[in-house]
Amino acid sequence: MLVLARSRLTTTAQHASRRFFSNKQGFDSLVLGAYTSEKPALTTQQVSSKTRDLLQSQLALSKFKKAGDVRLFYNVGGVKQVAVVSLGDNCNQNPHEKQESVRMATAIGIQALQKQGSVYTGVDVSVDIQGAAEGAVLAQFSFDKLKQKKKEDQVDRQVEPYHSDDSVHEAWETGRLYGASQNVARMLMTSPANLMTPKLFAEEVAYLLAGLENVDVLVHDEEWAARKKMNAFLSVAKGSAEPLRFLEIHYKGAKNKDESPYGLVGKGITFDSGGISLKPSTNMALMKGDMGGAATVAGALYGICKMQSPVNIVAMIPLCENMPSGKATKPGDVVKAMNGKSIEVLNTDAEGRLILADALSYISTMKPKHIIDLATLTGAMDVALGQVFAGVFTNSDTLWHQLEKAGESVSDPFWRMPIHKDYIREMKQSLVADLGNVGFRRSGGSCAAAGFLQEFVDKDIPWAHIDIAGVMDCSSTNGHHIKGMTGRPTRALIELLRNTIHQ
């Protein structure tokens, strides 16, 4: 793994760079990866033996051992900056671990260089092409368009592979789109709620997918939702002055355009105050990210459509705010969902399951091959799994194994959680409706929420609910994991849907 950045070299320096490094693309600084099984060993072959010996001896003296360790060198062989990043121990890594080590090391190297002012960064892809591309793109995410920019912050930085033959280009482009798709989700989730209302979210996604082949984006309004009898969805939107939107997206990439699609549903609460059951003010600002399910679905669709993957997909994204007002739904109110089931709204802060109920009912009428819904649904999931795994509740062992494999492949892991009728028993004891939207106890909150959603899915359709509340945001930056909204598990969704053509 090799990263370089371009500078204006004198003729003498150019000759020096060719002698020490193969640098036909004219990069101005360089990041090398090195394994540290016993002693530091550079992975790239694009350096002279003299340069290799120099760097490896310096690394050994600096106690360069732990994965992610980075060392900077200056003016080596005419190259302004050289960053060497540890890939860890090569002996015990499986292919997925090796790819993740490249993903992380590339990100760390680029971040170290860009802090030093590098501009044009190239990545040596000798260990893993796709991992290097993903790490390079993910590492550079920042949401600074609302900040007053300084002159030095306005540099146009670029990242490219160190080699550019056709086989490298294809894998690099795949990795780049994986990373860019997650960055799309990060951007949507990070945007302030006043600048990412339901209407603006719908417009942003329509713009992102505009002009791509085989894509139809339908933007529905409140009148449409009322005609469809989506009263659970409508009940959540009542308290806000912002009009709701319901995004329906069809992608027909398969050879047979009439083939049954795969279904995706994303929770799109663009801001969640809790409604009448108001949340505590501490950290409420994070609730701009309560549309993380919608954002990851949009990001995954962006990647799938850009790559023109040969699958058919239908996606539903219900979008609204959950706000308190004189028009807001009150605790104890009863609404009837699209599938005819009545719901007693015992807690207006359990709103995500209400909008998903109607979206799941609607998509079930289309008989997709499977349905996956994603939602920042319960704080209980954060308590259970933290920021490492997203929790999966599913009625299908096959779908679970596909998700598990996809998550492992891109190091964005899932953990299976239980579905059982006893979790929803209390919800079915409402005196006035078929279901309450919460139980009487807090225990098993994530499991109860999943059980509630299952009531609105056709029982013959394989279905998975992914609760991403725990992985919604990242508390600190570590390589390609950037502090703030994560956009997870966008890459795992893309990997799953791309792999369905081989299953």
In the residue annotation, 491 being an active-site residue is answered as no
Of all helices (H) and strands (E), which one includes residue 102? helix 95-115
In the residue annotation, 279 being an active-site residue is answered as yes
DSSP, residue by residue, 237-267:
HTT-SSPPEEEEEEEE-SSSTTSPPEEEEE-
Three-state SS at 203: helix
List the catalytic residue out of 228, 279, 341, 369: 279
Beta bridge partners of 219: 247
Of all helices (H) and strands (E), which one includes residue 188? helix 166-190
Q: How far is CA 135 from CA 46, 111, 184, 348, 423, in A?
A: 21, 10, 15, 40, 40
List the catalytic residue out of 186, 353, 491, 498: 353
Given 3-state DSSP classes, what are the helix, strand and coil percentages for the chain, each rounded to the nearest 5? 40, 20, 40
Q: How far is CA 50 from CA 3, 13, 287, 333, 435, in A?
A: 19, 17, 54, 76, 73
Three-state SS at 491: helix
DSSP, residue by residue, 303-315:
HHHHHT-S-EEEE
DSSP designation for 151: G
Three-state SS at 466: strand
Q: How far is the C-alpha of 439 from the C-alpha of 430, rounded, in Å? A: 9
Q: How far is the C-alpha of 394 from the C-alpha of 122, rounded, in Å? A: 42
Q: How far is the C-alpha of 236 from the C-alpha of 415, rounded, in Å? A: 30
Q: How far is CA 117 from CA 121, 155, 157, in A?
A: 11, 9, 9
The total of other beta-carbon atoms located within 10 Å of residue 130's CB is 22
Catalytic residues: 279, 353
